[in-house]
Structure formats: structure tokens, C-alpha cells
Structure 1
Amino acid sequence: MIAQHRCFSLLIIVINLIGFQSIAQEQIDIPEFKTEFYDLRGTNAFDVALGTSVINGDFADPQFEIYSHFGYKRHLTPHLALDFGYHKFNLAYIDQYNEGFMSFDLNVELLLLPHQRFSPIVFIGAGYNASNHFKDTAPKIQGGVGLECIVTNQFALKLYTDYNYVSSDTLDGLEAGASDDTYFRLAFGVNFYFGGADVKAKRVEAHATEIETNSITDDENRLKLF
């Protein structure tokens, strides 16, 4: 009887050790929870930029011209955002052509390192291109890449370039060649982030609840063994 009692006590100790190890493993397996995005940036942003634009059309000797941008960005997740922008720019050829344009673009933007101060950006979308006074209009698609650097919380510098394919061959006033006209833009600007504090608080609370729930479940499962 004494030997059986000792064996039973040893079995209980082993089960307890296994239970604690299981809890530790469960806690290790909980994904790392990051909130740096909400501290450095936010769920919304206004952005402005200034740069240059250049056409790729039917004439020779394209000329770099002025380009400006104003926009609003909404982050659906730290990595993914929708960006709506108004763009004002000129397209020109040396001593031949110079015309003012505007475009209204909607992009899906991917922020590759949202929890870091420095992050590459990739975006793609569609837009509407128009000459001054909406004399000529056409839909377009665009895509681009960029870099963003957080200077202080909620304030970032950015450098980006995009490629724009317009479904028209008369962007430069001449219909010629086998393909439609395109143009490039390159700009330096700033992002003013705001919002995100409430979202961060909710996510932190939900994560804490998840950890607590997992812990309680593990304790209950371990007690059932006895």
C-alpha cells in the first residue's frame, strides 16, 4: 500500500509538471502583439507633396514640369491603407507643348514595416485624368513605390514615384504611335497622421482578454486531470 501511495503521489507530481509546461507553451505560442504603429503613426493621415512630372508620349524632348499633391489616407490595418489624392501638374515638351492637368487617384497602399520608423511603400490603383477646365478627360491606372520616415510621432517625411498609364493617345495633343500616352511623377512630401488611440486601446484590451481566457482554459483543463 505504501508503495502504491508513493507511485500515485509521483504520478500527481508528473501531471502537475506537464500541466505547467503546457501552460507555458500556450503562452509562448501566443503571437507577439505590436502597438508601435499607433504610437508612431495613426489610422488616418493628410499628406501633401511637391515634385516634378514628365510625359512619355508622341513628341521628342519631354520636359520636367511642376507637380503638387494633396490627399487623405485611411489605414484599414497597420499594413494596408486606402489613399485618395488630388494631383495638379503640367506635362510638356521643350519648345513644343505645355499643358496643365489634374488627376483624382484612389490607391491601395501597402506599408511594409508599419511598426518601424522607416518603411518602404508600394501602391497601385486607378484614377481619372483631366486637362485644365476638363477639356480632355480619360481614365487611367497607376502604381508606384516610395519610402517613409517618421521624424516625430504622427509626422513623417516621404519620397515616392509613380507611373501613370492613361487610356488616351491625345494627352499631348497628338494621336500617333501604337500605344496610349503615359507619364511619371516624382515627389517629396509629408504625412500628418492622427487617430488610432481608441483602436490601440481596444486591441490591447482584446489581447489581454485573449491571454486571460487562454490561461483560465488551461487551468480548468489541468484541474480536470484530478
Structure 2
Amino acid sequence: MKVYTYTRIFFCAVVLCIIQACSTLFGLPSNSEKSTLGENTYYTTELRDLPLPKEKIVIGVYKFRDQTGQYKPSENGNNWSTAVPQGTTTILIKALEDSRWFIPIERENIANLLNERQIIRSTRQEYLKDIDKTNQSLPPLLYAGILLEGGVISYDSNIMTGGIGARYFGIGASSQYRQDRITVYLRAVSTLNGEILKTVYTSKTILSTSVNGSFFRYIDTERLLEAEVGLTQNEPVQLAVTEAIEKAVKSLIVEGVRDKIWGKAVDNTANYQALIDEYSREQTQNKNRAIGNKFPDETSRSRFSVFGNLETGKVKNDYVNSKTFMGGKIGLKYFLNPYFNAEANTNVFTMENTNIIKKTFYATEVNLEFLLFPRYKFTPYVYGGAGVLMSDMRPRYKAQLGGGIEYLIAENIGLRASSQYDIGFKDDWEGIVNGRRKDQVVRFAIGLNFYIGSKKGNK
């Protein structure tokens, strides 16, 4: 009995050591970390690399705040924490400093500044009476020729969610993701006449991902082995807000140079032409951008296409021991509009039950197919239709339903993966009628779809 107890203790100790080792392997934190400098975003470097102006622009920022009123989403009751950081004015001022284009002046807490200057004057008058009065005056405050206004005007939760997972004999893994989005507007206002000189608009997605794996298995009737591992990563909202604001500052600078609103600070726009051209290309590309940073292309698919598939599957008939077959399919598609196409194909497969029957079928099918996202490179699709099978000069009729995914790996070539379910109208594919279930086929296929002809016609 003591040996059994010691064995269990030893086994638990070994398992704990393995878990600790795995935590290190997966990069999971096991010790506290020291404080560090804040992370830089992609646009922090771009701002610091901008060509310098002839002279810096004095600029004031009173309030650049969260205007969404959005609270953090919560699955368990109310959450009164705000979804957007409340220090966005500070983030904007830091971005202005990094660009080296502006001289930001204190305006958010101007009352504190004025109060401190008043204390200095009072102290000098009270305790420095013998000093020349001309030395007691403070230099004047800088005033801004341009004010920056705006704020974070939108926080959208769960604009895209999804996941994938599988489990087999107690072993499983899954992955999930979620995307939120923030939107920033920034405008430059002239203090001379109140004119709004320029307005820019940027957005940034916030990604959260989760990966989990588990093992659940009975070793015997009395012993159960269970293990799990998981990793969740959430993009910090503060960094997302920072990146969106930095992008807005860069856009404001470039558009201001292009439209000549910075006055003497930019005496020759030719020095910034490469920057303007790059920004113009980005604006052109952005015209077709949709939610989720996807770029639909209206001319990505032609009106006609031909395709070929390699298939594998199994026929379910009235005999036992059905064998998996390998087959092929070729066909033609005609797009009625970007979403729907009519398809005709021919395919071949072999129905075989071990030591019982073996037949080769030649099939012709007609389908109507629906593409969910026809203007994207990646799109799911579903289809359905009817067909006829020929074997021993006898026709057998069926219906089919299927679906899959397509990804354009080249301008006119789509890579496809799909599955299809066939059901016969009669239970006679193998030559006998037995039972209530009609003969069926389950297929899985991978293939290429070649688009031909003018793309302009498929709109």
C-alpha cells in the first residue's frame, strides 16, 4: 500500500514538472517582469522618418477625447470600465512630437499653467522687492496658429468573429478570434478665421485570439487522464488607439503638404513628392477597401470558367464493406451574375464492396452555384443540382448538394476544396433494392478553377 502511495506522489511530481516545462516552452510568463519603455507602433517609425519642414508649426490641442461613451464588452454582468483609453490627448501630443513637424503647446490643462505663472509673479512681488521690476515679468506664452480638434468617435465590438476546432477520441484543439475596431477623426482649424483647413479619418482593428488544446481519455475503467493547454492574446487597445492617431497625424501632414496649407513651413513641395505619391497610391487602393481590411475586386472573376477536380469518397449502398474510391471531375461554369453561376460537369467514380461488387459509374451533373463573396479572393460557396449516372448502359438518376471554399492563387486561377453529398432517386445502383435508405455518395475534392474570357462582363 505504501509503495502505491509513493508511486502516485512520484507520478504527480513528474506531471507538475512537465507542466512547468511546457509553460516555459509555450512562452507563458512564470515570473514578474520589470518595467520597460513603451512599445512603438509601425507608424511611430514612419513619423520619425518624415522629411523635416523648413520651420516647425506651433500647434495647440485643447481636447482630443473619447467621444464614444463605450464601455468594455462583458459576458458576465455590467462592466463600467471604458473601452477606449481616456488619455488620447496625451497620445496625440506624443505623436506630434515624434513627427518633429510641430511645437505642441499646453492647452489641455491651461488653467494649471496660468495658475502656476500667477504664483511665480506673486512670489516675486512678495519676496524679491529689491530686484529690478523689469526682471520680475514672465515671458509671454506661445500662441497657436492652428488648433487640432476631433477624437475617437467610434468603438465597434465584434465586427468579425470566428473559429475552428476538431475533436477525435477525446483529443481536441480549437482556435477562436475576434476583431473590434476604433475610428479616429482629426481636423486642423485656423485660429486666424476659424476655417477648418483639413480633416482626416483613420481606423484600426483590434485583434483577440485564443488557441486551446485538450486531452480526455480513460486509461482503464478507474483511471482518467485529462490535460489541457491554452493561450489567449489580446491586442492592447492603447496601442491600437496610438497607431490610429499616429496614422492620422501622418495623413494630416502629407495632405497639408499636398494642399499647401502649412504656409512658410513648406517652401517647396517637390522635396516631399515621393511622400505625396506614396500617400496618393494608398488613397487609390483604399477606395475599394471593405471592413476587415479586405479589398474586393469587381473584375476578379470572369464570366466563364473551366475546372478540374480530384475526388475521393465512399458509396453507401445495401452491401457491407464499401471501399473508398478515387475519381475525377471536369466541368464548365457560366456566371449569370457575380453571385450565381450555372455549372455542367462530367465525372467518374467506382463503387466497390470488398469481394461483392465493383462498378464504374460515369456521371453528368448540372448545378446552380452561389458564391458568398464573389468580389474577394477568398470566398465560400454552395451548390445543388441533379445528375445522371451511367453503368452497364443503364441510367440512374440522383440529386446532389455540396459546398466548399475557393481562393484565387493567381489572377485567373482559383484553388478549390469542396465536399458533396449525392442521393439516388432509387435504391438500385448495385442492382438490388433492399431497405429504406437510397444509395448515397459522400465525396471530398480538391481542384483548380480556370477563369477565361473578359472580366469586364461579370458585373
Query: Could you tell me how far apart the structure 1 residues matched to 2:371 and 2:407 are?
Result: 11
TM-score, normalising length from structure 1? Answer: 0.69
Spell out the pairing of 1:51-200 with structure 2 (5 A cutoff).
51-131=311-391, 133-134=392-393, 136-199=394-457
Q: CA deviation at 1:97?
A: 1.8
Cα 1:102–1:37 change in 2 (3 A) is farther
Q: Deviations over 1:24-50 (max 9, x none)?
A: xxxxxxxx9x97142x22111000011
Query: Could you tell me how far apart the structure 2 residues matched to 1:71 and 1:85 are?
Result: 4
Q: Deviations over 1:43-78 (max 9, x none)?
A: 110000112131111011211011100100011111
Count of residues paired in the alignment: 167
Q: CA deviation at 1:157?
A: 0.7
| Counterpart check, 1:36 vs 2:297 | yes
Query: Could you tell me how far apart the structure 1 residues matched to 2:376 and 2:420 are?
Result: 23
Contact residue 91 and residue 100 of structure 1 kept, 8 A = yes
TM-score, normalising length from structure 2? Answer: 0.35
Q: Partner letter of residue 192 of structure 1?
A: F
Q: Deviations over 1:136-183 (max 9, x none)?
A: 212211110111111001101101111111122121232211132111
What is the match of residue 46 of structure 1?
306
Amino-acid identity (%) = 24
Q: Partner letter of residue 197 of structure 1?
A: K
Q: Deviations over 1:188-214 (max 9, x none)?
A: 1000001233426xx6xxxxxxxxxxx
Detail structure 1 runs of 4+ shifted over 3 Å in the superposition. Answer: none
Q: Partner letter of residue 146 of structure 1?
A: G
Contact residue 352 and residue 358 of structure 2 kept, 8 A = yes
Cα 1:95–1:104 change in 2 (3 A) is same
- Find the structure with the greater CA-based Rg: 2
> Please, which runs of 5 or more residues in structure 1 have no aligned partner?
1-31, 204-226
Q: Partner letter of residue 435 of structure 2?
A: G
Higher relative contact order (CA 8 A, sep 6+): 1
> Please, which runs of 5 or more residues in structure 2 have no aligned partner?
1-288, 290-294
Query: Could you tell me how far apart the structure 2 residues matched to 1:96 and 1:138 are?
Result: 20
What is the match of residue 159 of structure 2?
none
Cα RMSD after superposing both structures? 2.0
